[in-house]
Amino acid sequence: MMIHIPGVLDATAVARCRQIMAEAEWVDGNVTSGAQSALAKRNRQLPEGSPAAREMGNLILDALAKSPLFIAAALPLKVFPPLFNRYEGGEEFGTHVDNAIRIQRGSDFRIRSDLSATLFFADPDEYDGGELTVEDQFGTHSVKLPAGDMVLYPASSLHRVTPVTRGARLASFFWIQSMVRDDGERRILFDLDLAIQALALERGQGDPEIVRLTGIYHNLLRRWAHV
């Protein structure tokens, strides 16, 4: 499933990150590529673990911890430290699939990449092209979101970034290991959670049927979660 999470970063945080990016040193994006991705990838990145990447990454991780929608959708166990890329002048990332295991350079931190995330730092009218295009069993979906918004999608999906022909596309990308590995099971839990929250607003948290549904949610999570 693809899930749009609006307003992960507010305008102040986006402006701070844009300032950092404007002053940062960018390197060839293939420094983090696997063998297959390196054949398809043309962009630039901030060096992994650089002071600029760490400062912006901490802003993102703090914001995600406060996002009920992200937590409900991802059921995160571990989040890879955010990375940052820039596309301009025709740069693109051809069709590829993300590595199943991501290892943080210089450490023993590693995750299974269940979900991929892209958080946008440039508004859609600032650049042409640069759509994130994701393929699944229901077809092909293109995403180009406002600055501060994020999209989650299965890391197992074939996806690409179309050529940027005007302006610059600025984004963060990273991966999440979920407590619930299976995408279909996560979708069931997410839909059930949203339904429970909607009913709670209508009836109140103490309604007996809402209590019963909440119990079903947690029993399913208990059955499917790996922690």
Render pLDDT for 149-195 as a digit per residue (tens, 0 to 9): 999 999 999 999 999 999 999 999 999 999 999 999 999 999 999 99
How buried is residue 39: exposed, middle or buried, by Cβ count under 10 Å (0-12/13-18/19+)? Answer: exposed
* Cα–Cα distance measured from residue 148 to residue 169, given in angstroms and rounded to the nearest whole number: 13
Q: What is the DSSP letter of 24?
A: S
pLDDT value at residue 137 = 81
Residue 54 has pLDDT above 60, yes or no: yes
Q: Where are the domains of the chain?
A: 3-178, 183-224
- CATH 4.10.860 is right for the domain spanning 183-224: yes
Tokens of 10: 């507010």
Range 209-217, long-range pairs (CB < 8 A, 24+ positions): 216/192, 217/189, 217/192, 217/193
**What does the pLDDT look like over 99-134, one tens digit per residue?**
999 999 888 999 999 999 999 999 999 999 999 999
What is the amino acid identity at position 182? D
Q: Which residue, chain included where needed, has tokens 């102040």?
A: 12
Name the percent of the chain lying above pLDDT 70.
96
User: What is 116-178 written as a DSSP string?
Assistant: EEEEE-S-GGG-EE--EEEEETTEEEEE---TT-EEEEETTSEEEE--EEESEEEEEEEEEEE
Percent of the chain with pLDDT over 90: 89
Residue 2 near residue 151, CB atoms below 8 Å? yes
pLDDT above 80: residue 31: no
Which of 116, 115, 125, 117 is closest to 169 using CA atoms? 125
Q: What are phi and psi of 28, to 5 degrees?
A: -55, 130
**Which residue would you say has higher pLDDT here, 85 or 136?**
85
What per-residue confidence (pLDDT) applies to 36? 58
Distances (CA, A) of 130 to 87, 103, 127, 143, 151: 7, 27, 8, 9, 14
- CB of 218 within 8 A of CB of 173? no
Asked if pLDDT for residue 34 goes beyond 80, the answer is no
Are 3-178 and 183-224 in the same CATH fold?
no
Give the pLDDT score at 140.
93
Q: Is the model's pLDDT at 202 over the cut of 90?
A: yes
Domain 3-178 classification at class level: mainly beta
CB atoms within 10 A of CB 19: 10
User: Looking at residue 37, what is its pLDDT?
Assistant: 57
pTM for this model (two decimals) = 0.92
**pLDDT score recorded for residue 33:** 53
Give the model's pLDDT for residue 39: 65
Q: Mean pLDDT, to the nearest integer, of 54-82?
A: 97
Is the Cα torsion angle 99, 104, 106, 107 positive or negative in sign?
A: negative
Per-chain mean pLDDT for the chain: 94
